[in-house]
Structures are given as C-alpha cells and as structure tokens.
Amino acid sequence: MTVRDATPADARAIAAIRGASWRVTYAGVVPRTVLDGLDAARFEAGMDRRLRDPGATATLVADEGSGVLGYALLGPARDADAAGLGEVEAIYVTPGATRRGLGRALMAESLRRLATLGHDAVIVWVLTDNDGARRFYERTGFVPDGTARMLDFDGTPVEEIRYRRPIA
C-alpha cells in the first residue's frame, strides 16, 4: 500500500469513496434525503478542479495497487481561532477496506506533510455522533478541544466537534 499525492485521474475514485463512506458512516446521523441526494458527478468535478489547481491544499490517496481505497484532504486550518495550525479537512476509506491500516497511513502522511509546512499542531472536525471516527482520532492522538458547532443537513441540526493534537 502506498500513500501518494492524488492526481486528476483519481477524482472519480475519490468521489466514489466519499459517497460510499457517507452512506455507511452517516446513516442515522444525517437525514436520508442528504445521503440519497449526494451528487457524485458534482463532487468529482469539484475534486478534479482542486487537483488541477497548483495552489490548492494537498490531497492524498491510499492505493493498494488495485486502485484508490482512501483519501485525505489537508492544509492550513480554516478556523480564525486556529490560525497557524494545520487541518485534516477530510479522511475517508471506502467501506470494506477499513481496519487495514489505510486510515492510519493517510493520517501519518498528513501529519508529516503538515509538519513540513511548518505547522506544530493540527485540528480535525468530526460529527459528534460519529463514534467510529472519534475513536480513530483519539487512537491517533487527537483530543476534543472544547469547540463545537451546529451544521444544517437539510433542515436537521447536527453537532460537530473539533479535535486537536500536536504534531511531534
């Protein structure tokens, strides 16, 4: 398995992973209408633009040789109160390929990349009811930093909390 920079050729696989992961991970957390309405083509087009933009933040993929099975989006923290920190904006592994070390490998490379960009700490946002992701982040050294916000999913409020960890 390798973790590498994504290329525009990976946009379709990333979109498929996002859709499949959301449908499994967020079932019962966000409204079914949101999950049923995920637009893979639109997300793929946006990802393709991101991957062609030389100024865009990093996108990594985990590839086992048979194709892309996971991805991570990372860059500078987007929150005003976290200026100077790095952020893992998203990290997903396709259902059926979990618990094989892909997420850990993506996180390790994300942290390495953020350190080389001069960040000494990193944040990640996670839905409060996403117990699996919270356990993953906690196993990789993240702790809740006390910040929360409400998201609106098709009229349904869903809480999201921020985790933080040093990069050492």
Report the number of distinct structural domains present in the chain.
1
Q: In the chain, which residues have pLDDT < 70?
A: none
> What's the pLDDT score for residue 154?
92
> What's the pLDDT score for residue 25?
93
Residues spanned by the domain of 116: 2-166
> What's the pLDDT score for residue 142?
98
90 contacts 103 by C-beta, under 8 angstroms: no
Rounded CA gap, 132 and 130, in Å? 6
Q: pLDDT digits over 46-78, tens only? A: 999 999 998 888 999 999 888 999 999 999 999
Q: Domain containing 57 — which CATH number?
A: 3.40.630.30
Sorted by sequence, the CB contacts under 8 Å of residue 12 that are 6+ apart come out as: 44
> What's the pLDDT score for residue 56?
80
